[in-house]
Structure 1
Amino acid sequence: MREDKQLLVITHLSQLVTLITGFGSLLIPLIIWITQKDKVWMMDENGKNILNFQISLIVYALICVPLILVLGLGLLGFALIGILGIVFPILNAIKVSNGETPRYPLSFNFIS
């Protein structure tokens, strides 16, 4: 296995592709993780964290849909999901580049 911090940073930042294309925040990290998890040191752990975070955001978004009818709480939830979906990939890309182990809060452990 080789150490490749740049690829780990790119994997974390690839979640932000949704800001440009409207989709892909789960697909691109999934492809990178599947193809590189056995070749790059720490890719397996980072990839699982990213995928768990993205799936968790999808679950939270699905929960927010019916909450729109309840005093607009769903809209607030969507805003918070959007902020979390931008801030944490950037913070964790910085952590990976500094050699730290990133963590995504509020993530369910779908992939272990």
Structure 2
Amino acid sequence: MSDFENVPAAASVPSDQRTMALAAHLLGIFTGFIGALIIWLINKDDASKAFVTDQAKEALNFQITISIAMLICIILMIVIIGGILAPVVGLISLVFSVIAAVKANNGEAYRYPFALRLIK
């Protein structure tokens, strides 16, 4: 079963859904996983908003992964390497969130390359 099975084609995604998906990805930069969680919880039961639900879930999974990575960096600051890794994790989060937001705004379903799929 494909991850993209319930996601509409790019041409058929309404503008308001693309905007909500864009917001789900960009809110991760400022709010961590909280913004994507709120958007996912609001839209998860509405079958007509499959694109928003899918992209908010994807953003949520990625932001949870980033939160875990940052927690590991904080722990590793005891041996100094965490201080080097934390900015790298932050930069990765910023870059991939912007790429995902642009793809979502174009109506394309985006999958982060190394996110843990905790929310199915």
Q: How many equivalent residue pairs?
A: 105
Alignment of 1:54-73 (within 5 A): 54-70=63-79, 72-73=80-81
The alignment's TM-score, normalised by the length of structure 2, stands at 0.76
Give unmatched runs, 5+ long, in structure 2. 1-12
Give unmatched runs, 5+ long, in structure 1. 19-23
Provide the residue aligned with 2:51 in structure 1: 42
Return the structure number with greater helix share: 2
* Counterpart selection for 1:108 from 90, 99, 116: 116
Would you say 1:76 and 2:84 are equivalent positions? yes
What value does the CA root-mean-square deviation take over the aligned residues? 1.9
Find runs of 4+ consecutive structure 1 residues off by over 6 angstroms: none
Deviations 1:24-66 (A, max 9, x none): 2211211111112324231221111111111111111121123
* Counterpart selection for 1:52 from 61, 66, 81: 61
Once the two structures are aligned, what percentage of the paired residues are identical? 31
Secondary structure of the residue that 1:67 maps to in structure 2?
helix
The alignment's TM-score, normalised by the length of structure 1, stands at 0.81
